[in-house]
Amino acid sequence: MSPESPVVELVGAGFAYEDGPPVLDGVSFAVPRGRAMALLGRNGSGKTTLLRLLSGGLRVGRGRLLLDGEQVSYDRKGLTRLRTTVQLVVQDPDDQLFAASVEQDVSFGPMNLGLPREEVRARVAEALEALDIVALADRPTHLLSYGQRKRAAIAGAVAMRPRVLIMDEPTAGLDPHGQERLLEALARLRAAGTTVVMATHDVDLALRWADDAAVLSPQGLRTGPIAELLADDALLDAARLRRPWGMAVAAVLRAQGLLDEGAAGPRTPEELDAWVAAR
């Protein structure tokens, strides 16, 4: 299998909630191995629904879900195979956390895999460290702040060491330091080979972090290199997305003849600084 062949893939997927109109209709969405992918779209466009279909929490009504090119059967065996490969961190941490303490919550998944106690302990320590919540290990989850609960929920998925980590708006509610810590943790996971998909409303974060974008709009789902899709004003309009800061800066630089037409612009203030310094 090529390095970028999809790990999970929806093919012609359709889905409607009970008695509701179709949320997704004939959507094909491949998550290529090793990539960082941002899923963007307005409220109610179907991001959460799509992520739940990919991780097996919802069952495709029409179309197929493939894991490593093989159709997923929604029986116990198929779902176990899917869930040990793909981990979803849901939008609201209160839908995910249930154990009495942070440590118990994070260890629940690895323990359920039947791993030896030492291995569970090592994974939990690693996940708490990655999310910067070591000091919260013994705290009751229900007494944590929202951002702390969010990090604890992500740690629970990280401790499963999934090949694909899917997160639904993981940075919403995190302070700037927490966001940076999360991005650092994701960079380490990616270096270790984890594929990461993130739904977000933050186009600046998406541009900076992701390789690829998947944009849901009334015209359907478009996927492609993030810098290309977020430079497409018609697509941004259709999906009601703001133009990322970096794209706006690049447009100004191009209009002033300071940046070549085809050249990529800076994605962050730091990159702009470096670009100016290098001139």
Ligand X SMILES: Nc1ncnc2c1ncn2[C@@H]1O[C@H](COP(=O)(O)OP(=O)(O)OP(=O)(O)O)[C@@H](O)[C@H]1O
- Give contact residues for ligand X (rule: CB under 6 A): 17, 20, 23, 41, 43-49, 91
Could you say which of Mg ion, ligand X, none residue 85 binds, taking C-beta under 5 to 8 angstroms by partner kind?
none
Cβ neighbors of 238 (< 8 A, separation 6 or more) are 217, 218, 219
Q: Which is nearer to Mg ion, 48 or 96 (CB)?
A: 48
Query: Smallest distance from the beta carbon of 90 to ligand X, in angstroms?
Result: 11
CB of 65 vs ligand X, minimal distance in Å: 16
From the list ligand X, Mg ion, none, partner contacted by residue 60 (C-beta under 5 to 8 A by kind): none
Question: Which partner in ligand X, Mg ion, none is near 46 (CB below 5 to 8 A by kind)?
Answer: ligand X
DSSP string, the chain: --TTSEEEEEEEEEEE-TTSPEEEEEEEEEEETT-EEEEE--TTSSHHHHHHHHTTSS--SEEEEEETTEEPPSSHHHHHHHHHHEEEE-SSGGGT--SSBHHHHHHHHHHHTT--HHHHHHHHHHHHHHTT-GGGTTSBGGGS-HHHHHHHHHHHHHTT--SEEEEESTTTT--HHHHHHHHHHHHHHHHTT-EEEEE-S-HHHHHHH-SEEEEEETTEEEEEEHHHHTT-HHHHHHTTPPPPHHHHHHHHHHHTT-S-TTS---SSHHHHHHHHHH-
Query: Between 136 and 198, whose beta carbon lies closer to Mg ion?
Result: 198
Binding to Mg ion in span 45-64, by CB under 5 A = 47-48
Query: Looking at beta carbons only, is 67 or 167 nearer to Mg ion?
Result: 167
Two tokens, residue 50 = 């799509």
The one of ligand X, Mg ion, none whose footprint includes residue 23, by CB under 5 to 8 A per kind, is ligand X
Binding partner of residue 151 among Mg ion, ligand X, none, CB cut-off 5 to 8 Å per kind: none
Q: Compute the least distance from the CB of residue 173 to ligand X, in Å.
A: 13
Least Å distance, CB 15 to ligand X, is 9
The residue (of 67 and 239) whose beta carbon lies closer to ligand X is 239
Q: Tokens representing 43?
A: 């409220």
The residue assigned the tokens 């998909």 is 197
Q: Closer to ligand X by CB, 42 or 139: give it.
A: 42
Please state the closest distance from residue 58 (CB atom) to ligand X, in A. Answer: 9
Compute the least distance from the CB of residue 43 to ligand X, in Å. 4
Of 142 and 242, nearer to ligand X (C-beta) is: 242
44 interacts with, out of ligand X, Mg ion, none, CB within 5 to 8 A per kind: ligand X
Contacts with Mg ion, residue ranges (CB under 5 A): 47-48
